[in-house]
Structure 1
Amino acid sequence: MTRTYLRYVALGDSQTEGMNDGDDTGGYRGWADRLAEQLAAADPRVRYANLAVRGRTAHQVRAEQLPVALDLRPDLATVMIGMNDLLRPRFHATSVARHHEHIFEALTGQGAHVVTFRFPDPGLLVPAARWLTRRTHELNARVREAADRHGATVVDLFAHPVCTDPRLWSADRLHLNALGHSVLAAAVAHALDLPGSDVAWSNPLDPLERPTSWRRAGTELRWATGFVGPWLVRRAFGRSSSDGRTAKRPVLTPVGPRPERDHVS
């Protein structure tokens, strides 16, 4: 029998905030909003809060978002964290997974059903990021172990090739596009066995035409200059994309039309 969820709280970083499924001017939607809409379609009593803020690390989510989430007493919580940690020079999978485990333990201890994720392999999406593959393996393994200890549901994005199909990702290759957010919402809905959900989200898209070597090289160069360069500059000056940002939906409210702006700066 499918469990009913009436109080959904999403914790995380830019992916859960919904970046690139919309924009800063018109507002972001994202997979968590899409999931909330599906929950509300089944039961209009659903209330939803999204505490995610771009750029946040696992430690920051534990310190800043978890206390708020506990006060909201969700019966469903999604936790997607760790990608910003993976990108940092001093990464330690065990340390990051401890933050996951603390969050899982606290939320499940209040009776919430927790959903978390195994990340897809960045090296399959970005050739220059193959050095992240081993880190991703290590973090995924430890998150799975922590989730199993606390009865959390794991959505395994690593296991499905569609999750590294470039057509699901924005030009920066760090954030999903609208199609990608839609697929991710469907994956979570299927993991929760929500009405109308099925395994179709994991089906591969039609084959892509293989680009020439010159075209691939040009794509990599544009990506490096357009996205990696600015990111390195921000890091060098101690700036973050999260500076001045707060949660777009900090309290539980009915799921309805999206506000004109999905964040407060």
Structure 2
Amino acid sequence: MGYRRFVALGDSCTEGLDDHHPENGLFRGWADFVAGRMSLLEPDFRYANLGVRGRRLDQITAEQMPTAAELKPDLIALFGGGNDVMSSGWDARTVARRVDAAISQATSIAPDVVVFTLSDIAERMPFGSRMRPRIEALNDAIREAAVSYGARLVDLWPDEAVSDSRYFGPDRLHLSELGHLRLAAHLLAKLGLPFEQSWLEPLPGTPSRPTWREDLHWFRHQVLPVAITRTRNRMIGRSPGDGFLPKRPQLLPVEGTPAWIPGNA
């Protein structure tokens, strides 16, 4: 099936952190890669990206779904839940309701919807195992809602790439270019569309394990600044992502030949 109106919804992963466009330095990411491939198949293809960093699922539903409905897409891809998992006010039942509402609304807007589970961060982050029960609860809710509302599911939980740091940026949370390409390949495969097979092939060599000095550097320069910022924001009633706007709020053609996508050149 060819798609002509693709809308991506979600948080920082949908926005494209930490994959910088080689030509302009702006964030790129999996949705851009998917759109670039789709544009080769449909001459009238249009793409919008409403993802904003820091947004929880309830915020995605409130802020992005109305715009998505106005755009009348034939395909929605929704990646979210990570900020719900990291929230200090975590409650599994509340997040399950958010998941249900988001997927229900997305499937009422577009005839085809793709959603994603989250991968396990425990393998690459010290103390990451503490977050595993939250991620498992979120993923269970996503799987259940996908079945209930007929959304396609890309299940990232069993993906072996989760333990390879080369797929992730300096914060070990957001995807690198390689990670975004892999996610794009999973999505295109789920839709039965062609993609560059190298995006899913194992990377050469063996990934290195971080030393305790690297873990300490990561904690000081990646974890602490984020924790301090989030604490300050809570004190003044701000949410992560406040003040940021979607990078591509309108359905627009993918400009030129997307040779900037690895495998297209």
TM-score of the superposed pair, with normalisation by structure 1 = 0.88
The runs of 5 or more residues in structure 2 that have no matched partner are 258-265
Aligned residue in 1 for 2:49:
50
Q: Does 1:226 align with 2:225?
A: no
Q: CA RMSD in A?
A: 2.1
Aligned residue in 2 for 1:205:
203
8 A contact 1:117–1:156 mirrored in 2: yes
Residues 111, 176 of structure 1: CA spacing in aligned structure 2 closer, same or farther, 3 A cutoff?
Answer: closer
Residue 102 (structure 1) shift? 1.8
Q: Deviations over 1:229-254 (max 9, x none)?
A: 10111112115551321111001111
8 A contact 1:162–1:205 mirrored in 2: no
Q: Deviations over 1:58-111 (max 9, x none)?
A: 111011001111111111001111101111122123322322222222232244
Q: Deviations over 1:150-199 (max 9, x none)?
A: 1111111111111331110001112111111111111111111103466x
For residues 206 and 35 of structure 1, the distance between their equivalents in structure 2, rounded to whole angstroms, comes to: 24
- Structure 2 counterpart of 1:235, from 230, 233, 238: 230
Count of residue correspondences: 252
Aligned residue in 1 for 2:87:
88
TM-score of the superposed pair, with normalisation by structure 2 = 0.88
Secondary structure, in 3 states, of the residue corresponding to 2:153? strand
For residues 73 and 164 of structure 1, the distance between their equivalents in structure 2, rounded to whole angstroms, comes to: 38
Q: Deviations over 1:185-242 (max 9, x none)?
A: 11111111103466x655443452654xxx6211111111001110111112115551
The runs of 5 or more residues in structure 1 that have no matched partner are 259-265
Residue 26 (structure 1) shift? 2.5
Aligned residue in 1 for 2:12:
14
8 A contact 2:47–2:251 mirrored in 1: yes
Aligned residue in 2 for 1:217:
212
Matched AA of 1:76: L
Of the structure 1 ranges 249-258 and 158-167, higher mean CA displacement relative to structure 2 is found in 249-258
Of the structure 1 ranges 155-164 and 172-181, higher mean CA displacement relative to structure 2 is found in 155-164
Q: Does 1:38 align with 2:44?
A: no
Q: Does 1:248 align with 2:247?
A: yes
